Amino acid sequence: MPKVCFYFLLHQPYRLTNFAVTDLSDPRHEYFCQDCYDQNREVFQKVAQKSYRPMLSLLLDLVEKHPEFKFSFSCSGVFLEQAQAWGPEVIDLLVRLSKHRSQVEIVGENYYHSLSALYSQKEFRAQVKQHTSLMRELFDVKPVTFRNTEMIYNNYVGWQVARLGFRGILVEGVDRLMQGRPKTQIYRANCDLALPMLLKHAQLSDDIAFRFSQKSWSQWPLTSEKYLSWLHDYRDEETINLFMDFETFGEHQWESTGIFPFFARLVETGCQDAHIQFTTPREQLSPKRFTTKKDWSAWVKTLPIYNVDDPISWADEDRDLSAWRANDFQYDTLQKIYELEAKVKAKKDPRLLADWRRLQTSDHFYYMCTKYFADGDVHAYFSAYDSPYEAYRRYCIVLADLQERCQ
C-alpha cells in the first residue's frame, strides 16, 4: 500500500507598521505595531477564527477517532509568539495534538522563518536552536525532522541541517533536478553527512492547496473519492508527500468551498482503505528497524542522491529564490540586514537582537517582489501592503532606525 505523508506549516509574520521618518528619534522603536492599532493582532485573530481553530479541532477529532491517521506539522517561532499573545486556545489545541506522539510529529523549523541558512551559518544555527528550545518548552519534544524556511534548500543547507543533528529534511521535488526519477522515493543529501530527505509531491499537494476551489480546473469539483483514486495509482513502496500551508484550510480555501468536510472524509475513507497507509516523516526517514546510528547511516548511504547546487524552494512556478531575491529592493535590504549581525550582537541588547531577527523574516522580502502574471498575482494576494514599493519604503525606514541603534 502506498504511504501518505501530510505536513502542514503554521506561520504568521510580524508586519511592519507605517513607521515614519519623524519616528526615527522615538526611543520606543515600535516597528511592528502602533498604540492605536495593531494589524498583526487583527490578522492573527481573523485567521485563527477562519483556519487555525477549526482545522486544529478537526485534526484533533480525527486523530482521536482514527488511530491509523498520522500527520506532521511545524510552527515558526514568530507564529507561536503571536498565538501565545492573542490565541491561547490555538496553543492549547497544539499541545493536545502533540500528546499523540505516535500519530503526530512536530517538525523542526527556523524560529524567525528567515533566509539565514543562505547568509549566516552562525545565525542559522542560533535560530534553529532557539526553535528547538521552544518545542521542548511548549510541547516537550525535540524535533528529529527539519523543514527550512519556504523549503529553501541546496547542498550547503543540507550539510548545515545534518550538522545540527537532524535525522531528515523535507524539500521540494523540482522537476528540472529529478532527471525523470519519482518524487515518491526517499533520497539523501549530497554532502558528507547522513541526511535522508522526503520530496514534496507538488501536483497532488497543489490540487488541494491551490486548485480545490478553482471552477475552471478540469478536475473540479474535487471529491475525496476522486483524490483517493489518484493515490491508488502508486505502488506499495512509494510515499506520497503532501506538503502545504496550514492556512489552506479556511483561509486560502474558504469554509464555503467545502474544504473541511473534504479533508475529514479523505482521512476517514483513507483509514478504512486497505490500500492507503498514513505515515509521518520520522517513520520514513528514521525507521525503527535500525537500532544503532551506524546501521541507520549505512542505510542512508544506499539511498539515491538529490543533488541541489543552486537554491530551490516551494514558491512560485520556478521553485527558486526569485520570490525573495530577484530585484534590487530585495538584494539591497537582505545584504544590509545581515551586514548588521556583528554590530547587533556586540550590543548585547535583547530587544535590539529580537527586532533584528524579526526583520529577517522572509515575508518582508516576499512583499517586495515585482513579478507579473500568475506569480505576481499570488504575491499581491499575500502582501500586507499596497505595492512592493511600499514594502520597500517601510522596511528601509525601519532599517535606518535599526542601524542608528547599532552605533
Q: What is the DSSP string of 2-38?
A: -EEEEEEEE--PPPPP---GGGGG-TT---S--SS--
How many angstroms separate the CA atoms of 249 and 383, rounded? 19
What pLDDT shows up at residue 362?
97
Q: Is the separation of the CB atoms in 8 and 246 below 8 Å?
A: yes
Q: 305-306 and 277-279 as β-strands: parallel, antiparallel, unpaired? A: unpaired
Domain ranges of the chain: 3-306, 328-406
Classify domain 3-306 by CATH architecture.
Answer: Alpha-Beta Barrel (3.20)
What pLDDT shows up at residue 380?
62
Residue ranges of the chain whose pLDDT lies below 70: 22-26, 34-37, 372-382
How many angstroms separate the CA atoms of 304 and 189, rounded? 9
* Cα angle 30, 35, 37; round to 5: 105
Q: Which of 137, 138, 147, 127 is nearest to 10 (CA)?
A: 147
Q: Is the separation of the CB atoms in 176 and 196 below 8 Å?
A: no
DSSP state of 255: G
246 contact partners, CB below 8 Å, separation of at least 6: 8, 9, 10, 51, 52, 55, 73
The neighbour count for residue 394, using CB atoms within 10 Å, is 21
What pLDDT shows up at residue 382?
66
Q: What is the DSSP string of 300-343?
A: HHTSPEE--SS-B-SSTTT-SSTTTSSSHHHHHHHHHHHHTHHH
How many angstroms separate the CA atoms of 210 and 106, rounded? 24
Give the number of residues written for the chain.
407
Q: Enter the C-alpha cell of residue 63.
A: 486523530
CB contact burial 287-310 (16+ within 10 A = b; e otherwise): eeeeeeeeebeebbeebeebebee
Active-site residue list: 150
What pLDDT shows up at residue 29?
75
What tens digit of pLDDT does each residue of 157-188 get? 999 999 999 999 999 999 999 999 999 999 99
* Cα angle 378, 316, 237; round to 5: 125
Amino acid identity at 53: R
- Percent helix, strand and coil across the chain, each rounded to 5? 50, 15, 35
* Cα angle 130, 136, 137; round to 5: 85
Amino acid identity at 65: K
Q: What is the DSSP string of 257-269?
A: GTHHHHHHHHHHH
What pLDDT shows up at residue 41?
93
Residue 106 vs residues 48, 144, 174, 180, 308: alpha-carbon distances, Å? 19, 9, 24, 31, 25
Secondary structure of residue 131 in the 3-state scheme: helix
Counts for the chain of helices (H) and strands (E), in that order? 19, 12
How many angstroms separate the CA atoms of 276 and 232, rounded? 8
Name the one residue in this structure whose C-alpha cell is 552562525.
122
